[in-house]
Structure 1
Amino acid sequence: MNSMKKDSSKRESDSNLVEEARKTLIGAKDWFLEDVALMTAYWHDKMGYTEAWVDANWHYVLDEGHELVEELDEKEDAALLWLINHANNNPVPLEDCHVVGAVVAPGRYRCMSCGHDNDVETEQTLEPCEICHYGLMSTHDEKGDSAE
């Protein structure tokens, strides 16, 4: 009889432990779900605010962004041109160079290979050098060159 009493109290103790564990798990689940709901509401509000700001200011972002990109492109181009002209000690600045196939104004175009002066009389597509058929010309006027 004594053994039955031990088994009964052990079962009751195990049952209490299982019940306590179940209550703890349910409490943890509820707490976790409440935290998730709070985080979801926070991010929803935060993203809703951001989305509303972008919607309200989209035209401004596009207008200013487009001008900013163009301004940066111009500055990058100028900086790169300066760097190439000065760091490489180019004898002819790149802005005075013209490539075959480009439309050019009338004038004298010196071949960068053989130095021959190619005369262009009307606005037209630049042709290769008459002498060596090289495709890079310059309108740069070297110091000491007499044009007369």
Structure 2
Amino acid sequence: MNSMKKDSPKEADDSNLVEEARKTLIGAKDWFLEDVALMTAYWHDKMGYTEAWVDANWHYVLDEGHELVDELDEKEDVALLWLINHANNNPVPLEECHVVGAEVEPGSYRCMSCGHDNVIETKQALAPCEICHYGLMSTHDEQINKTE
């Protein structure tokens, strides 16, 4: 009698699956590394082109750059305010919020904590709430602390 065991078909299938998985992973790794190399080369080419353009047009960049940066900063600020106001569902738009120490115009500034209206008579630095000493005020028309 032959006492040696033959490999079962299940073990052979399992080893084939492991080998196929190994090949797939090696292929995926190679594909990923090739893509990274292509992206890196593209980025270096793109940055090289940009640097060459800036070197050739540096006087234009210096002359126009400050205005462009200010314009972009203004657009980014508006976009950020819109995003924060809408994404967070803020009860008060941020552009209508004021913090202690900020220079404010005369008017009524509602405390964001207790809802007290702090009246400012002259242009001055905003002081904390007269009631609760909280440091965030609003000029927003709607009531902040509705109890309805």
Q: After TM superposition, is the score higher than 0.5?
A: yes
Scaled by the length of structure 1, the TM-score of the pair is 0.57
Percent of aligned pairs sharing the same letter: 82
- Cα RMSD after superposing both structures: 2.0
Q: 2:99 aligned with 1:96, yes or no?
A: no
Structure 1 position 59, deviation (Å): 2.8
Q: What secondary structure does 1:137 align onto? A: strand
Q: What secondary structure does 2:108 align onto? A: strand
2:142 counterpart residue number = 142
In 2, Cα distance between equivalents of 1:76 and 1:139: 23
1:82 counterpart residue number = 82
Aligned length: 92
Runs of 5+ in structure 1 lacking a partner?
Answer: 1-49, 144-148
Report the AA paired with residue 59 of structure 1: H
1:31 counterpart residue number = none
Find the structure with the greater CA-based Rg: 1
2:24 counterpart residue number = none
Spell out the pairing of 1:94-133 with structure 2 (5 A cutoff): 94-133=94-133
Report the AA paired with residue 128 of structure 1: P
The structure in which a higher percent of residues are helix is: 1
Scaled by the length of structure 2, the TM-score of the pair is 0.57
Q: What secondary structure does 2:127 align onto? A: coil
Runs of 5+ in structure 2 lacking a partner?
Answer: 1-51, 144-148
In 1, Cα distance between equivalents of 2:100 and 2:59: 42
Structure 1 position 54, deviation (Å): 4.3
In 1, Cα distance between equivalents of 2:91 and 2:113: 12
In 2, Cα distance between equivalents of 1:58 and 1:84: 36
